[in-house]
């Protein structure tokens, strides 16, 4: 085999961000915006048809290092903005890990890919949960830290003294509009902000517990394809996250503008910028109002496959 094309989906967090840091449940959904990676053996490292040392990308350097690989030529095509919180680096890591395995003639084992891609993310960022890499590998939806989910158990991922229990959720086709504020807001300081608030204040700790409770309710709504119920929980979650101090004017503006045409809307990911998401059956209108308030809209669908070989 001398030419392999693999794609992996990006994602958004529908419920549970920030609370997941304290062991509460969180749910991420894969979306139909994919990262595509084409690899072939070469006599030098190349990216997008130009000689380049792909080991300058920490994600690819880590993964190459796991595969005792001769030089490869890599073509990358991403349908999501980098640094927006939609998991583009996780999708790259997942697709690249799968592509190298296929190039070496191995069958794709999702658990091994999810674990290797998570290690690559950790190597590149020094932190983070395995939520993005697991959902990009499995597709559809995944939940972390859900109690009693034996029949839906996918895999455990451990790092240092922490173990995450990852379970799968079948996700119906739903339409969402993601609104990117264009603001890159690093996750670390926002997680720290919530940690300090929570440590000082019982009220903040109750909010984190409440996010955990509504995330479990939301999982039930997803399974039942109850878009109205799910939308209400999303909007409530946005209020709780705002009280924790992780929203911002730009996110609130896009959420408020979307709500009259949506079942619900909220920030997604760490907040402070990045993206919001609205669940709607009027995607064109929501997309227009997001654009008119200065956001960059993406109409996306859920219920999509995880990592897969496109051509070989
Ligand atoms: C960021 O996408 C989600 C957070 O909960 C951080 C994390 O889980 O690592 C804010």
Catalytic residue among 3, 32, 132, 199: 132
Using an 8 Å Cβ cutoff, are 140 and 263 in contact? Answer: no
Strands 162-169 and 296-301, bridge-based pairing? unpaired
Residue ranges per structural domain of the chain: 3-172+304-309, 175-301
| pLDDT of the chain, 312 residues: tens digit per residue | 579 999 999 999 999 999 999 999 999 999 999 999 999 999 999 999 999 888 788 999 999 999 977 899 999 999 988 889 999 999 999 999 999 999 999 999 999 999 999 999 999 988 888 999 999 999 999 999 998 778 899 999 999 988 999 999 999 999 999 999 999 988 889 999 999 999 999 999 999 999 999 999 999 999 999 999 999 999 999 999 999 999 999 999 999 999 999 999 999 999 999 999 999 999 999 999 999 999 999 999 999 999 999 987
46 Cβ partners below 8 Å, 6+ apart? 52, 54, 71, 72, 73, 74
pTM above threshold 0.85: yes
Distance between CA atoms of residues 271 and 86, nearest Å: 12
User: Which atom belonging to ligand 1 lies closest to the Cα atom of 127?
Assistant: 9
Q: How far is the CA of 305 from the centre of ligand 1 (A)?
A: 23
Using an 8 Å Cβ cutoff, are 236 and 214 in contact? Answer: yes
Strand locations in the chain (E): 4-15, 26-41, 46-47, 50-51, 72-78, 141-144, 153-159, 162-169, 175-180, 264-268, 275-279, 296-301, 308-311
Q: Active site includes 132?
A: yes
Looking at residue 39, what is its pLDDT?
96
Q: How far is the CA of 52 from the centre of ligand 1 (A)?
A: 32
User: Which atom belonging to ligand 1 lies closest to the Cα atom of 191?
Assistant: 10
Query: Measuring from each residue's beta carbon to the nearest atom of ligand 1, which residues come in under 6 Å?
Result: 13, 17-18, 20-21, 85, 128-129, 187, 191, 269-270
Write out pLDDT tens, residues 166-223.
999 999 999 999 999 999 988 889 999 999 999 999 999 999 999 999 999 999 999 9
**CATH T-level assignment (fold) for domain 3-172+304-309:** Ribosomal Protein S5; domain 2 (3.30.230)
Looking at residue 204, what is its pLDDT?
97
Using an 8 Å Cβ cutoff, are 97 and 143 in contact? Answer: no
Using an 8 Å Cβ cutoff, are 268 and 237 in contact? Answer: no
Give Rg (Cα) of the chain.
19
| Cα 36 versus chain centre, distance | 16
Q: Which two tokens stand for residue 50?
A: 């130009």
Q: How far is the CA of 187 from the centre of ligand 1 (A)?
A: 7
| Cα 49 versus chain centre, distance | 28
Looking at residue 281, what is its pLDDT?
97
Q: How far is the CA of 102 from the centre of ligand 1 (A)?
A: 31
**CATH T-level assignment (fold) for domain 175-301:** Alpha-Beta Plaits (3.30.70)
User: Which atom belonging to ligand 1 lies closest to the Cα atom of 132?
Assistant: 2
Looking at residue 1, what is its pLDDT?
54
């Amino acid at each position: 085999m001398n030419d392999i094309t693999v794609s992996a989906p990006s994602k958004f967090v529908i419920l549970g961000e920030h609370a997941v840091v304290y062991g509460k449940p969180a749910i991420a959904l894969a979306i139909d915006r994919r990262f595509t990676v084409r690899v072939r053996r070469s006599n030098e490292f190349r990216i997008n048809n130009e000689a380049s040392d792909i080991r300058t990308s920490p994600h690819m350097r880590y993964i190459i290092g796991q595969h005792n690989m001769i030089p490869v030529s890599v073509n990358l095509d991403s349908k999501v903005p980098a640094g927006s919180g939609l998991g583009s680096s996780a999708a790259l890591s997942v697709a690249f890990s799968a592509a190298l395995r296929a190039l070496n003639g191995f069958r794709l084992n999702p658990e091994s890919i999810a674990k290797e891609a998570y290690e690559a993310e950790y190597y590149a960022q020094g932190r983070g949960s395995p939520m993005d890499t697991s959902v990009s590998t499995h597709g559809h939806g995944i939940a972390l830290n859900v109690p009693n989910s034996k029949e839906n158990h996918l895999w455990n991922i451990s790092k240092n003294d922490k173990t995450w229990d990852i379970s799968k959720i079948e996700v119906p086709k739903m339409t969402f509009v993601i609104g990117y504020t264009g603001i890159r807001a690093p996750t670390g300081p926002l997680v720290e902000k919530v940690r300090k608030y929570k440590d000082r204040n019982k009220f903040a700790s109750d909010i984190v517990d409440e996010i955990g409770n509504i995330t479990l309710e939301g999982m039930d709504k997803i399974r039942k394809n109850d878009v109205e119920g799910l939308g209400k929980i999303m909007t409530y979650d946005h209020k709780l996250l705002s009280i924790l101090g992780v929203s911002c004017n730009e996110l609130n503006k896009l959420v408020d503008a979307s709500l009259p045409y949506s079942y619900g809307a909220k920030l997604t990911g760490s907040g402070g910028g990045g993206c919001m998401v609205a669940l709607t059956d009027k995607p064109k209108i929501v997309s227009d109002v997001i654009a008119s308030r200065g956001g960059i809209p993406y109409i996306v669908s859920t219920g999509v496959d995880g990592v897969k070989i496109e051509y070989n």
